[in-house]
Amino acid sequence: FSPTTLDLRNNMEEDSNLAEPLLEAVGDVPPSSSATASSGKTTAKSVSFGEDVTLSPSLSRPASNNPPASSIRELPRKTSYVDRRSAWPRSLSDRSDRGDHMEQLVQSRRESMKLVLGPDADDYPEVEDPASSLSRMSASVRRAALEDQSAFVTRLRSYLERTGYDEQLPPLEIRLAQVNYRVPSRGDTGENSIATIWNSSPLYNIQKFGKKILRRGKEVDPVKEPRVTNVLTDVNLVLRPRRMYLVIGPPLSGKTSLLRAIAGNLQGEFKKKQRPGGGEGLAHLTGRVLYNNLVAAGDDADDGLRTLVKNLGAFVRQTDSHAPRLTVGETFLFAGECKDDQILKNKRGYDPLGKVGVTLEGLNLAYVKDTYVGNESIRGVSGGQRRRVTLGEMLVFDTPLLCGDEISTGLDTASTVEILSILSFVSRLLNQTTIISLLQPSPEAVSLFDEIILLSDGGRVIYSGPTENATAYFHNLGYAQPESMDNADYLLGVSSSDRHLLYRGEGSASGGAHTTEELAELFRGSQEYAKVEEGLRAEWDEDWRGVLGNATAPGGGGEDEGGPGHVERYSQKYKNPFWTSVVLNMKRSFKLWKRDRTFIRAGIIKNLAMGLSVGAVFLNTNVNSSFFGVLFQGNLFIMLGAMTSAPDKVDDRAIFYKHADSNFYPALAYIIGQALALIPQMLIDVLLFGICVYWMVGFVATAKGFFIYLALFFSFNFTMGQLFGCLASFAPSRTVVQAGGALILLLNTLFCGYIVAPTVIPPYYIWLYWSMPLSWVYRALLLNEFTSKDYQDGSGDEAMEAFGFLHNNEPYSRDWIAYCFAYLLPFCGLCMILSAVCLTKLRLEGAQTGTPDMPTEEEEGDTVHELSQDDTPQDFVPVNLSFENLSYEVKASKGSEQVTLLDNISGIFQAGRMCALMGESGAGKTTLLDVISMRKQSGNITGDIKLNGFPQEAIGFRRCSGYVEQFDVQSAELTVRETIRFSAELRLESSDPVYDSEGGIEGHIDTIIKALELTREADVLVGSEDDGGLTFEQKKRLSIAVELAASPSIVFLDEPTSGLDARAAMLVMSGLRKICDSGRTVVATIHQPSSAVFDKFDDLLLLKKGGKTVFFGELGPCSSNLVHYFEGL
């Protein structure tokens, strides 16, 4: 859909409040026209917003383009927001005025997708539609017709036929039998509490020890069991190949843990206190996860199968961890080269006919294949495109199992459906088992899945079965589905604590809605669960038990039948030889270093400045003590450079862990490749700094002495890089790396022989002198100078003796220079090996713990309630923001051409109205938000932006606006109330009316907390992923509260519902609705909104790729204006 003309169709007789100020804002209609418009007359004047955009105030189009009046249901006029503020989801049952056009579109799309992707005609029930030409064809003809319309499917078929790819994947059946997963709970006090200065200090441990001593002799209390939280409870599932499974559930229902359990990534145990007489450790994971009758995880799991399990599955994480300076195509190509030797041998790179090219095309990333992936600091692809990169990285290589954790976060609905349709097609064609979790799936997306796995609190399965039977199952239990509620939202509502709002039956023990335990028990008595039990008892179609090392084992049958041949293929841990992996990592790391031009330039300036300044201070010196000082200062400078670059390696660990989970390469190959790639940077440091110092200070003027000097400096630089890298491989955080690096720096400085002479170091510390790399390098540099021909008269030995450099009371010989290299070489090797071992054995990621901060079902109740206007902060000045012909261009990541991200966009954001910015990934939604909010510091911005008719001014605009970023970054050590207070006290002037209001600033904070329903969490620590704390959804509301604390007139929000399920999204949007109803201007980018969430908005600005406007205007009641507009096209 690419319209050449955009009509803003507003009915001025019914509602002129949007068109009138918009036309006035752009200056094409005099203010006096408002009287004419309000009197019911319609102006015929159109406003030009660019070549391809025309705004017309006329609602009606030519009669030939209008749909028949009988086909459009009469929609009531929206006069207030009372429906919008109703409690979710009860208010939706009154939404009978929505037209049936959307339902027809969804049904048609659903059937089309099923027809394309179904393996045979009997997979899905036929839907007779006499108005559709497709229904008059046979199933096979319909599938062929629809597939022929897709260029990508045609290309994929051609590729598969050419490579014989359809015979490569073995069918993998997965069974979960009584799987339970428990993690340590986090209480209010004790070892599992959120870390504070007090409970992390030695005094706290001394106090605990003292209490134990005082209790000694008294009656010993029974040993308490460690507090645990059930993440997964009694999970029984049967997952078959060639099928797609959808996992949904409320927050903390165990979706990610279930996917990790299926992928075989849940391992390890934590120990409980030992009772007298012994006791067993409490395992994280119990039960069994079986792959074709091989125990992949859980009880009786064989560690020898870990390699096989990793290679059989691909796990797409929630987070996007990528090298920001690699392009999209290079990211895919690296993954393919690591996991597929055929891609490595194919020198065409991401050729459109190759596997990488097909993946790029299928994920609609081919046009950005030369764009950096980027991150928060480096400009690259959009957030939705980055999410597709995360998915595509795991699709480049072959795996019989694909687990995708919330792959649609940041994606628009069309992109999500397109990607899911491709995954469904591939899973059926290649015998792949696909399990995907989604947060807010659309009806079209849900229709692509064969079965739904619905989780509730405690990781209990309350439904697992065919998609088409899910809603009927809960209807029979007494849960009513509002007419306009999507099936996925309905299922999420039943699984959440708000299920009592849907319950209309009388079957529960308490007479009200069922508890989670009751729903799980009811499911165990259902026909669907009986099918699961039957599947668990059934014989295996492919039995791999005993296949390893035994081709005649049961179910083996030779390679032709797929048993041992496939097992042996996937039992090879790494696809590439060790040194091939080293070369791949070296090329990748060198490319990343080469593209960081700012770092390279800064390094050049730093080394030249330091070299020239040191050389100038000691210019042509002939004082022996100056040589000692210069050499020490040079080594100290190198150590500082290595120490400052070490914390960055902590951030790279997430990328390594992702690659290690899929066996991309050995850890040692990764370490060696990184080290070799940084040699050019080390040469720059040594040459620029070393040459200046050597010749300006006046060291021995011989080629031999000069090259030994450079070699020693380079060896020391390389060694310290590996030493600090080893520290970064096991340090839990950047802070620990910095602290540990400071300790290493201190020990090397003290025991190198410069500050404390070697001859006076106490015997019990002398081992430190002989173990510090700096002492060996410093001594060798001194010997290179003072044993040269310039000191043949013995003055060199005297200088060395004066500073305590003696060995057995004799001067050192030049042989100790060679001994230095002999020491540094194994030292580097040891550091590399230790780094590889730490990266492999220590998994320093956020530990999963239960949280006491989550409400129980009884505590939550009806969490979305209506607040009065007195409950929202009122001290602000209303603002109308208009923008005309707004364009934004940037330089491409590679090359010198300019890329247009926004193209002549015009519109107005009004006070008291909430506007949604929508569009496909890469359409420029976040970019437009950043440009309007003055957050873009680079690129070329053109166009006019006005506030209440006045030009936008930086200081004033920032004072009256708030910006809620997509990623919530708050201080983990502060409580919710302290975080909001900190923002308010910094951003509000002492003369602000807030201070003079009743209750002062504390009353202002309380009002914000109440408005965003954070009262119960007000005194809870924010926490972090490592230590726990607030949930993702609570942090979203806290970020909004932090901006609201400054009493802004306009609030910008970047994807406030991304990463949230339907219920949490409604909670956040209800808070925004209350803020907007107080008179503020609210603008938010949003992806995949449900009908309930979308109806919270008043206006819509719809963009398409290239930053072009598709629609801007008022939505109308039940989005009637929007629907009528597109129907008229």
Q: Cβ distance 714 to 734 under 8 Å? A: no
Alpha helices for 33-150 (secondary structure H): 33-38, 101-117, 139-148
Q: What is the structure's pLDDT at 565?
A: 58
Instruction: Give me the residues paired with residue 941 across strands.
Output: 888
Higher pLDDT, 655 or 565: 655
Q: Cβ distance 81 to 1073 under 8 Å? A: yes
For 522, the token pair is 């009811």
Tell me what the pLDDT averaged over the chain comes to: 77
pLDDT at 124 over 50: no
Average pLDDT of span 10-18? 34
Average pLDDT of span 292-317? 86
Question: What is d(CA 1039, CA 1056) in angstroms, rounded to the nearest whole number?
Answer: 10
Average pLDDT of span 881-898? 84
Q: What is the structure's pLDDT at 924?
A: 87
Q: Say what percent of the chain tops pLDDT 90.
A: 32
Higher pLDDT, 569 or 185: 569
**How remote is the C-alpha of 294 from its chain's centroid?**
32
DSSP string, 682-698: HHHHHHHHHHHHHHHHT
Rounded alpha-carbon distances, angstroms, from residue 1014 to 163, 626, 1006: 57, 64, 9
Q: How many residues are recorded in the chain? A: 1129
pLDDT at 648 over 50: yes
Average pLDDT of span 450-466? 93
Q: Cβ distance 402 to 432 under 8 Å? A: yes
pLDDT tens column, 795-838: 888 899 999 898 888 889 999 999 999 999 999 999 999 999 99
pLDDT tens column, 609-624: 999 999 999 998 888 8
- Residue listed under structure tokens 């499917």: 153
Burial of 848: CB neighbours in 10 Å, binned 0-12, 13-18, 19+: middle
For 473, the token pair is 């199952």
For 1086, the token pair is 């949003």
Question: How far separated are the first and last CA of the chain, in Å rounded?
Answer: 10
Q: Cβ distance 467 to 476 under 8 Å? A: no
Rounded alpha-carbon distances, angstroms, from residue 297 to 223, 302, 304, 305, 555: 30, 8, 11, 9, 21
Burial of 372: CB neighbours in 10 Å, binned 0-12, 13-18, 19+: buried
Lowest-confidence pick of 200-204, 705-709, 741-745: 200-204
Non-local (6+) Cβ contacts of 835 within 8 A are 667, 671, 722, 725, 726, 729
DSSP string, 379-419: --S-HHHHHHHHHHHHHSS--SEEEEESTTTT--HHHHHHH
Question: What is d(CA 204, CA 5) in angstroms, rounded to the nearest whole number?
Answer: 70
Question: What is d(CA 675, CA 921) in angstroms, rounded to the nearest whole number?
Answer: 37
Q: What is the structure's pLDDT at 164?
A: 55
Question: What is d(CA 641, CA 614) in angstroms, rounded to the nearest whole number?
Answer: 16
Work out the pLDDT band at 725, boundaries 50, 70, 90. very high
Cis before residue 89, ω within 30 degrees of 0? yes
Helices (H) and strands (E) counted in the chain, each on its own, are 41, 28
Question: What is d(CA 90, CA 92) in angstroms, rounded to the nearest whole number?
Answer: 5
pLDDT at 64 over 80: no
Burial of 339: CB neighbours in 10 Å, binned 0-12, 13-18, 19+: buried
* Residue 847: DSSP 8-state: P
pLDDT at 551 over 90: no
pLDDT at 667 over 60: yes
Question: What is d(CA 257, CA 684) in angstroms, rounded to the nearest whole number?
Answer: 47
Pairing state between β 433-437 and 401-405: parallel
* Residue 326: DSSP 8-state: S
Average pLDDT of span 219-232? 64
Average pLDDT of span 150-179? 71
Q: Cβ distance 650 to 733 under 8 Å? A: yes
Question: What is d(CA 781, CA 850) in angstroms, rounded to the nearest whole number?
Answer: 56
pLDDT at 670 over 90: yes
Lowest-confidence pick of 44-53, 265-274, 470-479: 44-53
pLDDT at 117 over 80: no
Average pLDDT of span 706-731? 94
For 704, the token pair is 């031999």
Phi and psi for 538 in degrees, rounded to 5? -70, 155
Phi and psi for 278 in degrees, rounded to 5? 100, 180
Q: What is the structure's pLDDT at 111?
A: 52
Q: What is the structure's pLDDT at 452?
A: 94
pLDDT tens column, 352-396: 667 888 888 888 888 888 899 988 788 888 877 888 899 889 988
Average pLDDT of span 311-330? 90
pLDDT tens column, 574-589: 989 999 999 999 999 9
pLDDT tens column, 906-932: 999 999 999 999 988 778 888 899 899
Question: What is d(CA 4, CA 1) in angstroms, rounded to the nearest whole number?
Answer: 10
pLDDT at 52 over 60: no
| Of residues 47, 451, 390, 88, the one with CA closest to residue 240 | 451
Pairing state between β 1050-1054 and 961-964: parallel
Higher pLDDT, 1103 or 38: 1103
Q: What is the structure's pLDDT at 1114?
A: 92
pLDDT at 934 over 80: yes
Phi and psi for 125 in degrees, rounded to 5? -70, 140
Work out the pLDDT band at 195, boundaries 50, 70, 90. low
Higher pLDDT, 1053 or 166: 1053
Q: What is the structure's pLDDT at 993?
A: 75
Question: What is d(CA 311, CA 398) in angstroms, rounded to the nearest whole number?
Answer: 9
pLDDT tens column, 678-690: 999 999 999 999 9
Work out the pLDDT band at 103, boundaries 50, 70, 90. very low
Q: Cβ distance 401 to 262 under 8 Å? A: yes
Question: What is d(CA 827, CA 821) in angstroms, rounded to the nearest whole number?
Answer: 10
Average pLDDT of span 216-227? 54
pLDDT tens column, 959-978: 888 898 877 778 888 889 99
pLDDT at 45 over 90: no
pLDDT at 561 over 50: no
Q: What is the structure's pLDDT at 224?
A: 52
Question: What is d(CA 438, CA 407) in angstroms, rounded to the nearest whole number?
Answer: 7
**Amino acid of residue 402:** L
pLDDT at 719 over 90: yes
Work out the pLDDT band at 566, boundaries 50, 70, 90. low
pLDDT at 271 over 80: no
DSSP string, 940-992: EEEEEEEETTEEP-HHHHHHHEEEE-SS----TTSBHHHHHHHHHHHHS-TTS
pLDDT at 846 over 70: no
Q: What is the structure's pLDDT at 512?
A: 76
- Please give the helix or strand (H or E) that residue 435 lies within, else none: strand 433-437
Non-local (6+) Cβ contacts of 156 within 8 A are 358, 362, 422, 425, 426
